[in-house]
Amino acid sequence: MFLRKVEISGFKSFADRTVLDFSPDGDGSERRLGITAIVGPNGSGKSNVADAIRWAIGEQSSKNLRGKKSEDVIFGGTAKRGKVGSASVTLHFENRDHRIPIEYEEVAIQRKLHRSGESEFLINGARVRLLDIVDLLAKSGIGKDSYCVITQGMSDATLNATPAERRSIFEDAAGVKQYQIQKERALRKLASTKDNLARVDALLVEIEPHLKMLRRQAERASQGKDVAERLLSKQTELYGFLWHSFQGERGGLSQEREDLARKAGMLERETDTLREEVTKLAGTLEEGEKTDVLTKEAAALQGELNTVERDSAILSGRIESERERQKDREEIRTIPVDLGYIRKSLDRIGKNQNTLFERLGLVEKLEEIQDIREFARAIGQELVDLDTKVEAGKVTEKVIISLPENEKRESDARLSSYLAEKDELGKRMETIRKNITEKEEALRAEREKGREARERYFLIERQVREKDRELSIAKDRLNDVKVRLARVEVREEDLINEVREELRTDVRELSWDGSPRDRDALTRDIIRLKGEVERIGAIDPLVAEEYQETEKRFTFLTTESADLRNAMVSLETVVKEMDERIEKEFSDAFEEIAKKFEHYFSLIFNGGKAELIRTKPKSKAVATDEDGETLEEVAIPEVAGIEISACPPGKKITSLSVLSGGERSLTSLALLFAIISHNPPPFAVLDEVEAALDEANSKRFSKVLSELSERTQFIVISHNRETMRQAELLYGVTMGDDGASQVLSLHLEEAERLRGKGGKVAP
């Protein structure tokens, strides 16, 4: 088995689909697996190949993949290239030896992640779970926690790890991972079985007293069976009689309700018809009320006539005034005052006052009031002047003279206008008087018509009141029947519930032969039999059935408890067997790895001494109070760990912490080679693990790597020349202007062959 090729698409810097073919000759032919080197400048993305392989075999930690979140493994785009929607990595394995325990000779394991967060896991195109992939690879010695993918930090971390952490590394190297998985599953099943057993035992504790009580009740129920049967017979007889009696009563009430409902409906329709006629008559009466409209219209016309007559009178006054103006014109001169003059003046003032009073009664406009005020002030002034003249003994005399010609023409024009306007007012008064006469005739006709409509309206209204009374009586009777029917239905419902509760059946299934029954006697018998049942004990008729079901359940739980206890024994045996097997294979592997570690340490350092030491488990006290003081000692065993002792040649070192950086790298590589040589994985990816080595140590590293490549396929990410020399296949990783990684390949043996023939080497 070996890793044939890796397909990467959209993973980190590999935006385009990239294929790295690791077949020994490029075609999968049989020979030693060899070494493939992946080289390139810093930042070109070559370490992303190791991350892609680690991710495909099940790595879930974003930190171990040099990211912060799962989405970071998807190519995020650059200034010259957009981001992609998903990342996909496919590992193609040659599986002729069926180290991967499935029937296929070629296995393709694919993992895909979308930006939406959706993940896909496929084996040869079939969707599976991540757990299925992890389990399958674990059985073939491949896993995210194994030595299949090793970085420089991981190799150094082995030296910095605690003894217990180193043990887990050695367990992976010992190939006991599948046993540990079986053990963990057995422990989970054991815990689940314990929980189930606790629940079953709790149910048994709960059911057992109830089962004893049911057993006693079942025995008492058998004693009262005869009484219960007689009680059932009486109840069936009484309830059947009552049910059919209620049915007959309800049928009669239902028929009566329907008859009354029909009668009420008919009365409602008749009432509605009468109401419609009343409404129509009311409309007719409203039309008859045109008398009021006609009366108001006649009054309005009379008011208009009065206004026109008043305007005509005003015009007559103006005409008369104009004519008087044309008759004479006053010339004032002083004459002695005598009694005749005074009387004449007083008569004139009195006439003016009468005229003033008449004008006040006919006034309509504001400007007329102003003229009247001026006229009143003139009258008052005449009185004052007369009084003054009487005191002085002299008075002015009026001398009448004719109007001038121009004033007379103006006066004639005004008089002609007044006369024309008065003629128009006369015609208008005639028209108004004619309209008033027509309105009065129409008013008399409407009053006669309204009298007949009112008589019909009052007749129909009396009929509506009578129908309303009959309808009210019918509705009252209908409501009474509904109430009686509701009471019967309530008694029926109570009887249904009582039968359902006491007889556990439907009352409609009860029969009745039609003969009358003595309800009171049956009721007394039922009460007596119920008392006997109570004296025997209020036993549920289904108690025997419940007792049988509870007894079956108790028996089943008892059997289940025994099965769970047997399962716990079996699981504990499995755990014990797994522990023994893990310990045995771990011990055997540890001894072999320890020997190989000494060998490779001496080989790499060209001397020196190193060994692996198993530590013994200890116990410690952990119970403390709030102040940190120990309350009691609880012995908690620790897992046995592994210590590393390493002393390069010519030195005396007692601790790994005093080793130099190069010495630490060589020590971790010696341990790595020891583990790989003991349990060779199908393939191993080494990501710059020899970066800290000098040229001499790099040669030793390359030599050991070449030896181990006989059984393990190595994919080495490196800058080291010596490592590149040992590689049969060389991949160069570069990064273009668009920020995406690109891969170039070169078969070194083919290149040497072509160079020897004088040919050109094309990457």
How far are the Cα atoms of 349, 384, 748 from residue 387, in angstroms, in the given order?
A: 13, 5, 158
For residue 432, give the nearest of 299, 317, 311, 313 by alpha carbon.
299
Question: Could you identify the residue written with the tokens 């020994």?
Answer: 24
The contacts of residue 119 (CB under 8 Å, 6+ apart) are 111, 112, 113, 130
Q: How far apart are CA 587 and CA 171, in angstroms?
A: 10
pLDDT of residue 673: 84
Q: Is the pLDDT of residue 111 over 90?
A: yes
Q: How far apart are CA 176 and CA 584, in angstroms?
A: 10
Residue 594 lies in a domain: no
The order of strands in the sheet holding 2-9 is 18-21, 2-9, 86-94, 106-114, 119-123, 126-127
Question: Could you identify the residue written with the tokens 């003991």?
Answer: 678
- 174 with 679: CB under 8 angstroms? yes
Which 3 state secondary structure label does DSSP give 550?
helix
pLDDT of residue 27: 46
- 53 with 20: CB under 8 angstroms? no
Q: How far apart are CA 402 and CA 326, in angstroms?
A: 8
The CATH code of the domain that includes 64 is 3.40.50.300
pLDDT greater at residue 568 or residue 236 = 568
Q: How far apart are CA 236 and CA 510, in angstroms?
A: 7
Residue 55 lies in a domain: yes
User: pLDDT tens, 522-574?
Assistant: 788 878 777 777 766 655 667 777 777 888 888 888 888 888 888 888 888 88
pLDDT greater at residue 350 or residue 727 = 727
Which of 263-277, 294-308, 451-465, 683-697 has maximum average pLDDT?
683-697
pLDDT of residue 624: 47
- 141 with 561: CB under 8 angstroms? no
Region 508-533: what's the mean pLDDT?
Answer: 75
Q: How far apart are CA 625 and CA 662, in angstroms?
A: 46
Question: Could you identify the residue written with the tokens 């294979």?
Answer: 585
User: pLDDT tens, 727-745?
Assistant: 888 899 999 888 899 998 7
pLDDT of residue 753: 57
Question: Which range, of 36-50, 300-314, 494-508, 628-642, averages the lowest pLDDT?
Answer: 628-642
Range of the domain at 115: 1-148+681-763
pLDDT of residue 364: 62
Q: Is the pLDDT of residue 620 over 70?
A: no
Name the DSSP letter for residue 623: E
| Token reading at 571 | 């699981």
The contacts of residue 34 (CB under 8 Å, 6+ apart) are 24, 709, 713, 714, 727, 728, 729
Strand-pair partners of 89: 8, 111
Instruction: Tell me how many domains the chain contains.
Output: 2
- 589 with 679: CB under 8 angstroms? yes
- 83 with 74: CB under 8 angstroms? yes
Residue 626 lies in a domain: no
Residue that finishes a domain, picked among 387, 419, 445: 445
Region 308-325: what's the mean pLDDT?
Answer: 76
> What interhelical angle do 225-288 and 519-536 show, nearest 10?
130
Residue that finishes a domain, picked among 445, 467, 483: 445
CA 304 to chain centre: 78
- 337 with 390: CB under 8 angstroms? yes
| Token reading at 111 | 């993992």
User: pLDDT confidence of 66, banded at 50, 70, 90?
Assistant: confident
| Token reading at 254 | 């239902």
- 739 with 27: CB under 8 angstroms? no
Question: Element (H or E) spanning 730, and its range?
Answer: strand 729-735
Residue 20 lies in a domain: yes
Residue that finishes a domain, picked among 413, 445, 477: 445
Q: How far apart are CA 332 and CA 396, in angstroms?
A: 6
Residue 423 lies in a domain: yes
CB-hemisphere CA count at 13 Å for 294?
18
User: pLDDT tens, 688-729?
Assistant: 888 878 788 888 888 888 888 888 888 999 888 888 888 888
Question: Element (H or E) spanning 311, and its range?
Answer: helix 290-327
Which 3 state secondary structure label does DSSP give 200?
helix
The contacts of residue 603 (CB under 8 Å, 6+ apart) are 670, 700, 704
Strand-pair partners of 624: 630
Q: Is the pLDDT of residue 394 over 70?
A: no
Q: Is the pLDDT of residue 414 over 90?
A: no
Residue 353 lies in a domain: yes
User: pLDDT tens, 628-675?
Assistant: 454 444 444 455 678 888 888 877 776 777 777 777 888 888 888 888
Residue 101 lies in a domain: yes
Q: Is the pLDDT of residue 754 over 60?
A: no
Q: How far apart are CA 553 and CA 169, in angstroms?
A: 50
Q: How far apart are CA 511 and CA 488, in angstroms?
A: 19
Residue 437 lies in a domain: yes
Question: Which range, of 120-124, 212-216, 489-493, 624-628, averages the lowest pLDDT?
Answer: 624-628
- 27 with 103: CB under 8 angstroms? no
36 CB-contact burial (10 Å; exposed 0-12 / middle 13-18 / buried 19+): buried
The order of strands in the sheet holding 741-747 is 149-151, 683-687, 713-717, 35-39, 729-735, 741-747
User: pLDDT tens, 45-60?
Assistant: 888 999 999 899 888 8
Q: How far apart are CA 112 and CA 101, in angstroms?
A: 23
